[in-house]
Chain A
Amino acid sequence: MSWDTGMPLLVLASSLLPGLVIFFLPEERIVTRTTLNLAGATLKLALVGVMIWGALYGHHYETRLPILPGLDLVLRADPLSILFVALSSILWLVTTIYAIGYLEGSPNRSRFFGFFSLCVTATVGVALAGNLITFLLFYELLTLVTYPLIVHRGTEVARRAGRTYLIYTIAGGTLLLLGTVWLYTLAGSLDFTARGFLSGLGGAHHTALVIIFVLLIGGLGVKAALIPLHGWLPQAMVAPAPVSALLHAVAVVKAGAFGIMRVVYDVYGIQFAATLGVTLPLAIVAAVTIIYGSMRALFQDDLKRRLAFSTVSQVAYIVLGIAIVGPVATIGGLVHLVHQGVMKITLFFCAGNLAETLGIHKVSEMNGVGRRMPWTMAAFTIGTFGMIGAPPLAGFISKWYLGVGALDGGQGWVVFILAGSSLLNAGYFLPILYAAWFKAPPDSWPAERSFGRRETAWALLAPPVVTALLTLAAGLLASAPFSPLQWARFITTLEYAL
């Protein structure tokens, strides 16, 4: 096996093996567990770096293992998968550091970090999947390994949220399986191909292809939290903050959105999907989700629940970018996959810091918290302004490309959706900032922990500060080489054969 064929397996193994070892570690082996966690995350990041460098110099990384006659398990590093795998590797490292600090002293850490590593393994598998069957396998694995993380606290609320999550995602997986099987019987292939592989099928199959599209998008839309399939996401916010960060920014919702990208671009092909007439309904579902999610976020007093509804809205931007047929909007959708992840993980880290340090869970408890935790709230401020789309932050770049792409594609109505959504984003985020920075703090916080002269533990403070800086850099340095925007442009040239 050469480096080129082994590299995707190595990237998978860098989180799978530490995860499996961690399961068997006794609770008190803190140093070993921490070392394994950090070594795995750092190694994965290094391997992904090597893979990006190699891909730029013409290396073709692909692993192909037969699983059934005519069906292979394919792991491939194409530009789209590299975008997702790079995002998940970077954010996994910071989330690991955060989780180590967050769970300090709490029970069942070996179980938690074991599933945590498996979760990232499944996400990387989703990213590197070279065909729909491989994608499906890792997609379902993701469902199974995320469930224990959601119910980690073991409370009745957590178990209920876990049940809801499982029901939704199994239903979604079933739809996806049904669509995949049907597609295989029609096309005889499931390999992801730039610009799709279905356009050669005759007109007699078009009705079936539309139904399959609905099944596949229905299955993926559960994890992407498109309405009315989003109900699990606000409930899953009972999970610990690192899990929420993983669900909302790195793994689960991203796997759904990424899957929709794969189906539209590399299974159907964007032009063929537009010919079938399935892109406009998808754009409408995304637009309704954007507005609905923002409306629901507006009056949530629970901070994480507000952020969860915000995710419902923000992930739909990615789908909207896909569904507006045109290269500029595609850039917007692709780049928002990265930008939303970086911004939302910042917000969840900050929410976790507030909960762990001061016992703050509700927006109504946040008066004056900016004075007590200035670094955390500065990071939160950058994240929220990014979400609103204020320049020069990452969200501005996404909204810019989505807006210009909509005009470019002759879909001016999308611009009003973007404007309305920005207005609603301001409506549910700015009152938080006002309370935090301008209102007087209370005499005491709900459950304050002391960290000496520091506002909180280093392991909790560094990750949101780093991701906030990434939010700033992704926007400010958008035109620099190797920025997410440049990579999204590169992918678009391939998908549209420009």
Chain B
Amino acid sequence: MNTTLSAILLLSVPGYPLLLAFPALRSRSPWPCHIALLPAVILLAVPAAFSVDLPWLLFGSGLAVGERSRWLLAMAVVLWGAAATLLRAPANQPESNHLTTFFLLTLAGSLGAILATDLVGFFTFSTLMGYGFYGLLVNGGEMAAQRAGRIYLALLILADLALFEALLIVAAVTDDLSFGAVHQAVAPSASLNLYLSMVLVGFALKAGIWPLHFWLLPAFRSARPAAALLLGGVPIATGLLGAVHWLPLGEISSPGLGLALQWLGVGAMLHAIVAGRIQGQLKMLPAYAAIFATGLFITALGAGLADSAAGSRYGDLAHLFIVSLGFGLAVLTVGIGWLAARSPDAVAPAKRAGDPAPWFERWPGAVVRWGAQMGSDTLPRLRASWLATAGRLWQTRAWQSALDGGERSLQRWAFAITLLLLLGVAVAFIGALS
């Protein structure tokens, strides 16, 4: 294929949905969410691997499609196509402009992340995907959806910070930020362990991997059909794909870290089985399936990091696994939705407004309140009453008033200091002249 044509095609896969995200540019388009997928469909139909270098973009970036990314792109096209159809369907509501914008932004981010060839490009697209998906979760939703969105957003910011730190570590050792070059540069680096920690924490937060899966359950519980369908194929898949791309698999052998990840993966799978069984809600089955599957992924990732030979083979399998996970969770979500439509009693309803906040929001406050009432120490070496007082001060913004007062005092002194300095200048001038 002609180089210019292939470059245009590759750029238009994330670029076209991004353009359509502007309401003014899609106002005359009847099916913007479906049409946005057109470049990706054409790219899939062209049976060749090609790439484009974009040296003027960010710090020098690029996009490419190869055998592995083609599978991921195919999964994305199917899932996004189905979600676009669902987006128009629910309860015959008129299509919301906002929702379409967030849908298209998330789509652009998701497709771009699949085609990215370097760390900064991937980071950029995955961030776009993350903030767009937040909009998809929250827009028009009830209190439970807003809470899920809030948790997702907080963790997304933390994940991006961790990944940004990882990027800085990499940039300190190499100027070439393409995946392959980074793997080779970071493997012998003294900062390898810090880099691995940041990458693992960052993508575990993004993909909702146990025990950092705080956003996953509220999101599955409250997401509307289109967003629920995409949970496996978009935020989770992008998070897992990021881990595969960013970690120097095949370049390092780290038995200690590998074993720790394998134990973590087993823990995730056990958690999914036990907690899923206790929870017992059919609607939540995809969430626990996701925790189980990502646990399996982490176990294999641990094996890949423990031994460089296994790590080399892991790459191919990981892509297939991510594709299967995306499709599997989508099918499960659709199946349960269908079941819910046929027999609502079989599927517990989603939580409504007034449901309690998740434990990590409720417990710290409850501990402090209880301690304040009892007048006793609820935490070792820390009086709960102090915490309660600090909480009250925070609520009343007393510290803000204190800081304002401090600034006002400084302003009063500024005049006196000015006079003093003018005197100093006069003395200096007289001294210089004499």
Most buried by B among A168, A185, A438: A438
Expressed in whole angstroms, the minimum distance between the Cβ of A241 and any Cβ of chain B is 23
Q: Are A407 and B169 in contact (CB under 8 A)?
A: yes
Q: Which of A9-17, A150-158, A277-285, A422-430 contacts B (4 or more CB under 8 A)?
A: A422-430
Expressed in whole angstroms, the minimum distance between the Cβ of B420 and any Cβ of chain A is 9
Q: Are B428 and A182 in contact (CB under 8 A)?
A: yes
Partner of B421, one of A178, A228, A397, A407: A178
Q: Are A419 and B165 in contact (CB under 8 A)?
A: yes
Q: Are A178 and B172 in contact (CB under 8 A)?
A: no
CA distance A392 to B131 in the complex (A): 13
Expressed in whole angstroms, the minimum distance between the Cβ of B14 and any Cβ of chain A is 12
Q: Are B120 and A423 in contact (CB under 8 A)?
A: no
Partner of B98, one of A423, A437, A475, A476: A437
Which residues from B are CB-within-8-Å of A181? 425, 428-429, 432
Which residues from A are CB-within-8-Å of B57? 392, 476-477, 479
Expressed in whole angstroms, the minimum distance between the Cβ of A395 and any Cβ of chain B is 12
Q: Are B138 and A170 in contact (CB under 8 A)?
A: no
Expressed in whole angstroms, the minimum distance between the Cβ of A399 and any Cβ of chain B is 8
Expressed in whole angstroms, the minimum distance between the Cβ of A209 and any Cβ of chain B is 16
CA distance A408 to B55 in the complex (A): 24
CA distance A17 to B160 in the complex (A): 50
Partner of A438, one of B120, B124, B139: B139
Which residues from A are CB-within-8-Å of B139? 438
Partner of B58, one of A426, A438, A478: A478
Produce 1/0 per residue, A473-490, CB < 8 A to B: 001111110000000000
A residues 210-269 near B (Cβ < 8 Å) are: 228, 231
Q: Are A174 and B425 in contact (CB under 8 A)?
A: yes
CA distance A392 to B171 in the complex (A): 16
Q: Which of B86-94, B210-218, B352-360, B406-414 contacts A (4 or more CB under 8 A)?
A: B406-414
Which residues from B are CB-within-8-Å of A407? 168-169, 171-172
Produce 1/0 per residue, B403-434, CB < 8 A to A: 10001101100110110011011001100100
Q: Are B60 and A479 in contact (CB under 8 A)?
A: yes
Which residues from A are CB-within-8-Å of B338? none
Q: Are B153 and A171 in contact (CB under 8 A)?
A: no
Q: Is A271 an interface residue (CB 8 A)?
A: no
Expressed in whole angstroms, the minimum distance between the Cβ of B183 and any Cβ of chain A is 19
User: Taking chain A's interface residues, is the majority helix, strand, or loop, or is none over half, making it mixed?
Assistant: helix
Partner of B407, one of A231, A385, A479: A231
CA distance A374 to B22 in the complex (A): 10
Q: Are A231 and B414 in contact (CB under 8 A)?
A: yes
Q: Are A477 and B56 in contact (CB under 8 A)?
A: yes
Q: Is A5 an interface residue (CB 8 A)?
A: no
Partner of B124, one of A185, A299, A391: A391
Q: Is B161 an interface residue (CB 8 A)?
A: yes
Q: Is B64 an interface residue (CB 8 A)?
A: no
Q: Are A478 and B59 in contact (CB under 8 A)?
A: yes
B residues 107-133 near A (Cβ < 8 Å) are: 120, 123-124, 127, 131
Q: Are B414 and A167 in contact (CB under 8 A)?
A: yes
Q: A178-B428, A391-B120, A480-B56 are in contact. Are A404 and B172 (CB under 8 A)?
A: yes
Q: Is A197 an interface residue (CB 8 A)?
A: no
Smallest Cβ-Cβ distance to A419: which chain B residue: B161
A residues 423-462 near B (Cβ < 8 Å) are: 423, 426, 430, 437-438
Q: Is A400 an interface residue (CB 8 A)?
A: yes
Which residues from A are CB-within-8-Å of B344? none
Which residues from B are CB-within-8-Å of A478? 58-59
Q: Are B172 and A422 in contact (CB under 8 A)?
A: no
Which residues from A are CB-within-8-Å of B432? 181, 185
Expressed in whole angstroms, the minimum distance between the Cβ of A433 and any Cβ of chain B is 10
Q: Is B179 an interface residue (CB 8 A)?
A: no
Partner of B123, one of A391, A404, A430, A437: A391
A residues 383-407 near B (Cβ < 8 Å) are: 385, 389-392, 397, 399-400, 403-404, 407
Which residues from A are CB-within-8-Å of B421? 171, 174-175, 178
Expressed in whole angstroms, the minimum distance between the Cβ of A131 and any Cβ of chain B is 18
Q: Is A177 an interface residue (CB 8 A)?
A: yes
Q: A171-B417, A231-B414 are in contact. Are A296 and B403 (CB under 8 A)?
A: yes
Which residues from B are CB-within-8-Å of A469? none
Which residues from A are CB-within-8-Å of B58? 391-392, 397, 475-476, 478-479
Q: Are B157 and A174 in contact (CB under 8 A)?
A: no
Expressed in whole angstroms, the minimum distance between the Cβ of A436 and any Cβ of chain B is 11
Which residues from A are CB-within-8-Å of B342? none
Q: Are B411 and A167 in contact (CB under 8 A)?
A: yes
Q: Is B362 an interface residue (CB 8 A)?
A: no
Produce 1/0 per residue, A158-180, CB < 8 A to B: 00000010011011001101100
Q: A177-B425, A391-B127 are in contact. Are A171 and B98 (CB under 8 A)?
A: no
Expressed in whole angstroms, the minimum distance between the Cβ of B226 and any Cβ of chain A is 17
CA distance A369 to B139 in the complex (A): 15
Q: Are B120 and A174 in contact (CB under 8 A)?
A: no
Q: Are B425 and A178 in contact (CB under 8 A)?
A: yes
Q: Are A415 and B165 in contact (CB under 8 A)?
A: yes
Q: Are A403 and B23 in contact (CB under 8 A)?
A: no
Produce 1/0 per residue, B64-104, CB < 8 A to A: 00000000000000000000000000000000001000000
Smallest Cβ-Cβ distance to B425: which chain A residue: A178
Which residues from A are CB-within-8-Å of B400? 296, 299
Smallest Cβ-Cβ distance to A408: which chain B residue: B172
Which residues from B are CB-within-8-Å of A182? 428
Q: Are B171 and A404 in contact (CB under 8 A)?
A: yes
Which residues from B are CB-within-8-Å of A403? 164-165, 168, 171
B residues 313-335 near A (Cβ < 8 Å) are: none
Q: Are A404 and B168 in contact (CB under 8 A)?
A: yes
CA distance A228 to B58 in the complex (A): 36
Smallest Cβ-Cβ distance to A392: which chain B residue: B124
Expressed in whole angstroms, the minimum distance between the Cβ of A297 and any Cβ of chain B is 11
Q: Is B397 an interface residue (CB 8 A)?
A: yes
Q: A174-B421, A174-B425, A231-B414 are in contact. Are A415 and B168 (CB under 8 A)?
A: yes
Smallest Cβ-Cβ distance to B423: which chain A residue: A174
16 more contacts with CB within 8 A, not counting A407-B168, A422-B157, are: A167-B411, A167-B415, A167-B418, A168-B411, A171-B421, A174-B425, A178-B421, A178-B428, A390-B131, A404-B172, A407-B171, A419-B161, A423-B157, A438-B138, A438-B146, A477-B57
- Can you list 22 A-B contacts (CB < 8 A)? A164-B414, A167-B411, A174-B418, A177-B425, A178-B425, A185-B432, A231-B410, A231-B411, A390-B127, A391-B124, A392-B57, A400-B59, A400-B168, A403-B165, A423-B161, A430-B153, A437-B98, A438-B139, A478-B59, A479-B56, A479-B58, A479-B59
Give the A-binding residues of B (Cβ under 8 A): 23, 55-60, 98, 120, 123-124, 127, 131, 135, 138-139, 146, 153, 157, 160-161, 164-165, 167-169, 171-172, 397, 400, 403, 407-408, 410-411, 414-415, 417-418, 421-422, 424-425, 428-429, 432
